[in-house]
Chain A
C-alpha cells in the first residue's frame, strides 16, 4: 500500500529544534514505533506526518510524493488520539460514518463497511451508543475503527493506550497488533512505553532530544543498544565496567568481573582503556556461594509471580539488578555467586 519516507525532517520553534533532521523509511505494511521520553520529538514527528504540524525542513514522502504542502485532510491518514477524540454528539455509527461522508461513499457501501469494521473491533451491536455510554476500552476500539473504516494509506497512533488501566493495556497491545497485521496497513505508533513498542513493532525508532538515537528491530534495540541512553531507556540494564585487554583482528577482548567478553573493534578504543558494558538483568544467573562467578550478597528481593527481582551487591562494590524465575530462590541476606554469559555483555563504549 504505502511506503513512507522521512528525509531530514526538522521542526524548529524559535531557537529550539524539536525535531532535528531525522530520516527513516517505513516499509509497506510495516508497524513502526517512535519511542522516547516526553519532549523527544516523537509526537511532533507524528503530527508532521499527519499534517497537523508544518515541517520546518525536509520531506515526507508517501510512495515517493512529498506531502509536506498537502493539508491534513487531503493526506488520507487514519489517526487514533490519546484521548480517543470521539465526537461526543454522535453515535458510534455516526462517528464511523463521518470519514466516509467526507469521502462521499454511497450509503449502502457505508453501511457494509461500518458493519465490517465494527465486527473487526468486536463492537457489533454498539452502533447506536454514544461515546459517553462506552467504557474506556470500548471507546479506544471505536477510535481505532473510525480510523480504519476510511481505509487510509497509513495509520497513525498517538499514545493510544496511555489512558487505559494496566490489564486492558496489555490486551489492547495484542489486539491492535493482530488487527494491524490482518489489515496490513503501514502504521506509525508513538509511545513512551518501551514494553509497548517492543511487543507491537516490526521496528522501533528510539528518539532523544529531537534526534534518532537508534533504529532497529525490538531485539536489536534491546540486545545491542548503540549508546547509554538507549540501553537505559529500553528495559532495565546493569552497567558493568571492564578494561580492554587486547585488540586483534578487529576484535576487542574485554576483562570484566564476569570473565572475558568480546566485541568488534571500535575507533578510539585501545588496550588498557576503561569501558562500560551493558548486561540485562535476566541474563545474569545466581548460584550457590562458592560456585563459579563473582561473589556477592542478596540485598533485596521483589517477588512478582512469574519472576523474582533481586538486588545483589558484589563484593567488588558494584550493585546489580538480577531477574530470575522463581525456580531459583534466594532469601535476602543470602550469599550468592553471580555469573553471566560473556555473549550477553554488550560493549557500550569508553567509560565516562
Chain B
C-alpha cells in the first residue's frame, strides 16, 4: 500500500523552470518599459518646477495642489471622462447588434463582417483622424454637402468640440468593443433562449434575463478597453479638438513637450491614470458576476 502510494506521489519538489522561462519575456518587458517608467513619473510628479529647466531642485506637492485648486483642470478631467463614457456607451450600443450578427449570422456574412470590422485597424490612426477632419470641418464634406442641398444655412459645429472627438473615437475604437462582445455572444448557447421561451418568456425578456447577463464578460471587457483607450487617446483628440477642446492626454503632452513642465505634466498624467483606474475597478465591481466565481 505505502509502496504503491509512494510510486504515485509527485517527484520531490524541484524548482519548475518551465513556466518561469515562458513568462520571462513578458515580465521583463513590463518591468523595464512600464513599471520603471511609471515609478519615474511618480517621482517626477513630486519634483519642484524648474526655471528654464524641465524640473528644479527638491521635492514638493505643489503640482498636485495646483491641480486641485484650479477648477479648469478638474473640469478638463471631467470632460475627458465624459468623452470616454460617451465613446464607451455609443460603442456598446452600436457594436452589440454587429457583434450579434457576427456571432449568430450566416457564415458568409460572418466572414465579410469580420473583415469589415477589422478593416479600420489596418489604416494608421493618424490617417484616419485626418480623414475625419476632412469630413467634419466647417468646410468639410458633410457641412458642404448639407449646405449645397439647402438643409442648413451655415456649417454645423462638428469639429473642435467634444462631438467631433466622440464621433472619430467611436470609429477608431469600435472593433475593440465588437470583438470581445462577439466572443461572448458566441459563448452563449442559443438553446438557453429557447428554454427561456419555453418557460413563458417573450423574446425580449429571454434576451434581457438570459442572453444579456451571460454576455456580461464580453461587455465588461469591451467597455473597459474602449474607456481606457478613449481616456488615453492623443492623436484623434488633438487633431479634431484642435486648440478649442483639449482632453487630458493632449494637455499632458502640451505640458511635457510644449511648455517643458515635466513635474506638472507627470502629475496630470498620474491623476488621469489613477482616476481612470478607479473607475475601471468600480465598474468591474458593479458588474461582478457571482456565477463566474462560483465553481467547486
Contact = CB atoms under 8 A, between A and B. Distances in A.
B294 interface: yes
A79 B198 contact: yes
Given A83-B189, A133-B296, A98 B194 contact: no
B111 to A, nearest CB: 23
B192 to A, nearest CB: 5
Nearest to A74: B200
B202 interface: yes
Contacts of A72: 194, 197-198
Contacts of A156: 198
Contacts of A150: 199-200
Contact of A79 (B189, B192, B195, B216): B195
B194 A90 contact: no
Contacts of A103: 200
A4 to B, nearest CB: 16
B221 interface: no
B192 A102 contact: no
B205 interface: yes
Q: Which of B213, B216, B294, B295: most chain A CB closer than 10 A? A: B294
Contact of B194 (A74, A81, A89, A147): A81
Interface string A76-105: 111101010111111000000011001100
B291 A102 contact: no
B201 interface: yes
A144 to B, nearest CB: 13
A102 B205 contact: yes
A85 B192 contact: yes
A251 interface: no
Contacts of A50: 198
- Residue of A86, A89, A90, A103 contacting most chain B CB atoms (<10 Å): A89
B209 A78 contact: no
Given A89-B289, A89-B291, A133-B296, A102 B199 contact: yes
Contacts of A98: 196, 199, 201, 209
What DSSP secondary structure best describes chain B's contact surface?
helix
A99 B199 contact: yes
Contact of B191 (A77, A85, A147): A85
A52 B191 CA distance: 11
B200 A99 contact: yes
A132 interface: yes
A261 B195 CA distance: 52
Contacts, number: 73
Contacts of A102: 199-201, 205
Given A81-B195, A85-B189, A89-B213, A133 B200 contact: no
Contacts of A280: none
Contacts of B200: 73-74, 76, 99, 102-103, 150
B210 interface: yes
B91 interface: no
Q: How extensive is the interface on chain A, given as a class?
A: 20 to 34
A146 interface: yes
B195 A85 contact: yes
B214 interface: yes
A88 B192 CA distance: 9
A130 B192 CA distance: 15
Question: Could you say which of B189, B201, B205, B291 has the most chain A C-beta atoms within 10 Å of its C-beta?
Answer: B291
Residue from the set A50, A102, A103, A133 with the largest chain B CB neighbour count within 10 Å: A102
B189 A133 contact: no
Interface in A109-165: 130, 132-133, 146-147, 150, 156
Contacts of A74: 200
A151 to B, nearest CB: 12
A81 B209 CA distance: 19
Interface of B: 189, 191-192, 194-202, 205, 209-210, 213-214, 216, 289, 291, 294-296
Closest 10 CB pairs of A and B: A102-B200, A99-B199, A85-B195, A79-B198, A89-B291, A85-B191, A130-B294, A133-B296, A72-B197, A73-B197
24 contacts: A50-B198, A52-B194, A72-B197, A73-B199, A73-B201, A77-B198, A78-B198, A81-B195, A83-B191, A85-B191, A85-B194, A87-B195, A87-B214, A88-B214, A88-B291, A89-B213, A89-B214, A89-B291, A102-B199, A103-B200, A130-B291, A132-B296, A147-B198, A156-B198
Given A52-B197, A83-B189, 12 more contacts: A50-B198, A52-B194, A72-B198, A73-B201, A76-B200, A78-B199, A88-B214, A89-B210, A89-B291, A132-B296, A150-B199, A150-B200
